[in-house]
Structure 1
């Protein structure tokens, strides 16, 4: 138990619990009565797997998070709500009764939860060019998150991806700042008309700033650009998110011209908080302060630097006890001023009050029924259809015949929910296989083809012959996340895909390629052998949306949110840079009939 945190909630000290008082008054009254231990606890975010309920009470922790794949057992919506409520009751057992704020990476739906609706990753939504659709997806995600307990979402990612080698390209809505800025409607969807309303979840604009512009597309690398370019390319989406009232901003792992963003006072305090007038809370990324000096294990200097730079809440998943001890020592030594501690707490507590956590701290289980609901899955199916980009359609082979067509389907991504959902699905890196309920692309094709149609499937393409009207090859990438997805070398299809495509091509039937990937791939050498090409991105659990476009239930309307390279040597390639692409930014065909 920490010293100096005892006492009871008298009428005076409990003024912050009175919902009739103004937010500012409640926060200030609470702040005046908090000890240093309590304030440092509020600034600490630990990973759920590294704490007990007793720790939450004893150390006055302000926040917990579930890292990617950190889930209760069993991984059900009800178990999530039970877990959340258990931790929350531990927080409420403290003298000031300050509730936790619990964070999750619900980046394309509530993607850690088995059975949740998995929407297309951001690159697909950028192709859809529909800000209202993105707002509705944010609202649907907020409902599913609310039912399971958490009240803080580390989304949307408003990065501007400038090099497709980057393993997080699919987390970007597009390569020009206007696209992510338009899609900050996700903030409005997540938070609702006001914080604290029904199914309102705190949104996070991330990662601040320049993460999509690193040299070589290296994740967590160095963004070597001028301040003018940083402001022109990478800052506008954050400005848009702040205008929409984003409650938090997450700092990026990357450096800007050699200085880590987590220690960059100019970017965090001078630009974000003062110039852009961001009044919400600033949170670090996972162990982000530990990267400031480039050595493993955070130091007192890194703690001091990050807090003085303007970070309000520090994500220290496992080593949170040492962080608390270190920050307290830095404050007591005068190296971190109390004014900075109070500013951080003021921002954190304001959001907790605005969210209504003091009045409604437990999971709102009325929303459990929305997790993976038919309504949300139908919204996702529509999003999938709108995100498909038709890049080639030689001889109008598409749309396929729904009446009595004979279709051969092949490819490792045709019948695999995990592959079509990508990273950040159930686990951090995602995985192949039947990892969560949904409709695979193959199942969607079978459901859409009609009773008189014939659909034959072979993963590797064996068994195809000339009797089919078309062969649909669903190929591309398998799941990855963050730096695990960096592709510094070749960016083409793998040997398995190429062999499958060769078998289909040898049959003489028209070949339709559906490319499931988190970015453009180097396919120009193979493209002449294909009759049609559809960029499907990472569609999520509702594969029937892909079939809707293949069969013409919906015409393709998607437009490229990134420039498609002619060869990998063109990377980085972006709109307006004078390079000759295979397909330009904004390209996308539709059907004549």
Structure 2
């Protein structure tokens, strides 16, 4: 259901209208207007704003990382408006109850202040509540893009919100609405696809997260990263640490609007609570300081009603002069600033900038009003503490079934020469490849830890593709597994099997560290494919965050399936291999024949891609 937009006039710095003023005067005896849940979020925010000191206002604009809070009383001392858990940052008791206890403790500090303004607590729940062991982990966005199923993605948002709210978190930094144009980018898997219409369609996840604002398990969503982060230019001279991440998007504004803005227009229409600004630049200007795009376009032209948040220490990149960075970011339109490790410095600096007149008080008031409206809208004042009854939904069978369905729909069949579906009563099956029995590789980045890690001891639970295969076949079928991660597979080992399933691909990574100049299969994966496919009928399954270069190996394959990063429910892959479900996924990215065809839009002098955008066989 689309959520109604808030009225633009209520978000301005103008005083209350006569009608609004009258509404605030109809207060319940003994209850201040901002405490009266019968009033609108706008009226409540206007009343509370008028009661705040400058220190309290700037505190509301400050977000700190939980690990940087050395003294919990700092939450009250600095009037902090928000905390977050970065990737892999959680309590020592990393359970839903441990999270709830931690966050409720933080909230008690916030509620001890004179005006009792509760915290927003944010986390990167980007494919399920991925920081917390035992959470249901769904396919990353690249796989969801292949489903083209807006209702499914909305349901995933709703299920994720239930698990997130069960831990006390009330805000997710998701969905990523980037339109990735260069698959060398390490965040490609966070993109729904290479065309804006896919991210626009699947922005339905916002309505899933937010539900009906103010009801149980309704959490704030974040559309990110505004704007153009998927279009950065491959240039090591300007960004030597990363090839593409946090780089420069070099486009005319016409092309920027055509390719990268539409998903944010859709997010605004759904009433998204927050928008996160990108680390990247547009034509050399850091987005964190781009007033035209943040204030004129996002807030003005698109009519965005929520609040704008920075990325992790993103304002630090504007200038070596910290004071200049702070005033540039706030004056550009940032409302809340993620200063994970040094919140006192930010607070002191912004206070000095306001006092000196370099940041207008009206800009501060606009930012704080936007933040407070969302706190009222989502019922954070009425329900600041964790709803512990939601713990029953955490990692539930219902959520796992939804994740399995998402895996099934995300699979793309790229080649099939009569090998699929495999009979469940096949006498002898061989399974091998680096990603057949590796839960960590299957989950990818942003899974318990920020970068993720390989192996099955990754701190959470799930079903590997190998386990899914073993569960799918008949009791008479013999399934052998050869671990190619540490052993070379030879054709002699493969002879005698009826079918070989080779699961290959990438190891986990997240932003920056996933940037690659070459996307060929590893030598060991290539050897496994060659050995198996030269000896028996074979199915190759890729587990990866983007298309890989496998043109030379393709002729040997009997079948090829792109499984992306399927998440915790590996049975969904086996369901399609053995015919329990049909292949319905379509490529959300064109699959290059060689690295010479990267990025998207590069002149195709060498011919068409190996598989075009939207390609997918059905069997």
TM-score, normalised on structure 1? Answer: 0.95
The alignment partner of 1:484 has SS state of: coil
Q: Does 2:504 correspond to 1:475?
A: yes
Q: Does 2:521 correspond to 1:497?
A: no
Q: Does 2:477 correspond to 1:453?
A: yes
Paired position in structure 2 for 1:210: 228
CA distance in 2, matches of 1:140, 1:576: 42
Give the Å deviation of 1:154: 0.3
Give the Å deviation of 1:576: 9.8
Paired position in structure 2 for 1:39: 57
Name the stretch that deviates more: 570-579 or 264-273: 570-579
Paired position in structure 2 for 1:485: 514
The alignment partner of 1:407 has SS state of: strand
1:396-443 CA-partner distances (Å, limit 9, x unpaired): 101111124421000111111110010000010001122211100000
The alignment partner of 1:380 has SS state of: helix
CA distance in 2, matches of 1:305, 1:577: 41
| Paired residues for 1:172-211 under 5 Å | 172-192=191-211, 194-211=212-229
CA contact (8 A) 2:597 2:604 kept: no
Paired position in structure 2 for 1:331: 354
1:346-400 CA-partner distances (Å, limit 9, x unpaired): 0000000011111110011111121111100000000001000000112x10111
CA contact (8 A) 1:167 1:482 kept: yes
Paired position in structure 1 for 2:441: 419
**Among 43, 52, 67, which residue is 1:49 paired with?**
67
Q: Does 2:495 correspond to 1:466?
A: yes
1:305-331 CA-partner distances (Å, limit 9, x unpaired): 000000000000001110000000000
Give the Å deviation of 1:452: 1.7
Paired position in structure 2 for 1:4: none
CA contact (8 A) 2:94 2:132 kept: yes
CA contact (8 A) 2:538 2:559 kept: yes
1:232-262 CA-partner distances (Å, limit 9, x unpaired): 0000000011111111100001100000000
Name the stretch that deviates more: 411-420 or 576-585: 576-585
Paired position in structure 2 for 1:7: none
Paired position in structure 1 for 2:4: none
Q: Does 2:546 correspond to 1:522?
A: no
CA distance in 2, matches of 1:22, 1:55: 31
CA contact (8 A) 2:529 2:553 kept: no
CA distance in 2, matches of 1:577, 1:505: 30
Give the Å deviation of 1:495: 1.7
CA contact (8 A) 1:575 1:584 kept: no
CA distance in 1, matches of 2:415, 2:511: 30
CA distance in 2, matches of 1:351, 1:580: 48
CA distance in 1, matches of 2:396, 2:556: 41
CA distance in 1, matches of 2:391, 2:149: 27
CA distance in 2, matches of 1:106, 1:485: 19
CA contact (8 A) 2:130 2:448 kept: yes
Q: Does 2:413 correspond to 1:386?
A: no
Give the Å deviation of 1:22: 2.2
CA contact (8 A) 2:584 2:617 kept: yes
Give the Å deviation of 1:464: 3.2
CA distance in 2, matches of 1:475, 1:204: 33
CA contact (8 A) 2:179 2:192 kept: yes
Paired position in structure 1 for 2:308: 282
Q: Does 2:454 correspond to 1:432?
A: yes
- The aligned length equals 575
Give the Å deviation of 1:339: 0.3
CA distance in 2, matches of 1:575, 1:100: 46
**Among 239, 242, 252, which residue is 1:226 paired with?**
252
Paired position in structure 2 for 1:26: 44
Give the Å deviation of 1:11: 7.4
CA contact (8 A) 2:530 2:553 kept: no
Q: Does 2:114 correspond to 1:114?
A: no
1:487-524 CA-partner distances (Å, limit 9, x unpaired): 12x21011221222233234x10121100000001110
CA distance in 2, matches of 1:505, 1:367: 48
The alignment partner of 1:512 has SS state of: strand
Paired position in structure 2 for 1:136: 155
Name the stretch that deviates more: 164-173 or 50-59: 50-59
**Among 169, 175, 184, which residue is 2:188 paired with?**
169
CA distance in 2, matches of 1:574, 1:178: 16
CA distance in 2, matches of 1:575, 1:322: 45
Instruction: Flag structure 1 segments of 5+ consecutive residues without an equivalent.
Output: 1-9
Give the Å deviation of 1:530: 1.2
Instruction: Flag structure 2 segments of 5+ consecutive residues without an equivalent.
Output: 1-27, 235-242
Paired position in structure 2 for 1:407: 429
Give the Å deviation of 1:75: 1.0
Paired position in structure 2 for 1:307: 330
TM-score, normalised on structure 2? Answer: 0.91
CA distance in 1, matches of 2:601, 2:538: 29
Give the Å deviation of 1:29: 1.1
> Alpha carbon RMSD of aligned pairs, Å?
1.5
The alignment partner of 1:513 has SS state of: strand
Give the Å deviation of 1:577: 7.0
Give the Å deviation of 1:466: 2.2
CA distance in 2, matches of 1:347, 1:392: 51
CA distance in 2, matches of 1:86, 1:542: 34
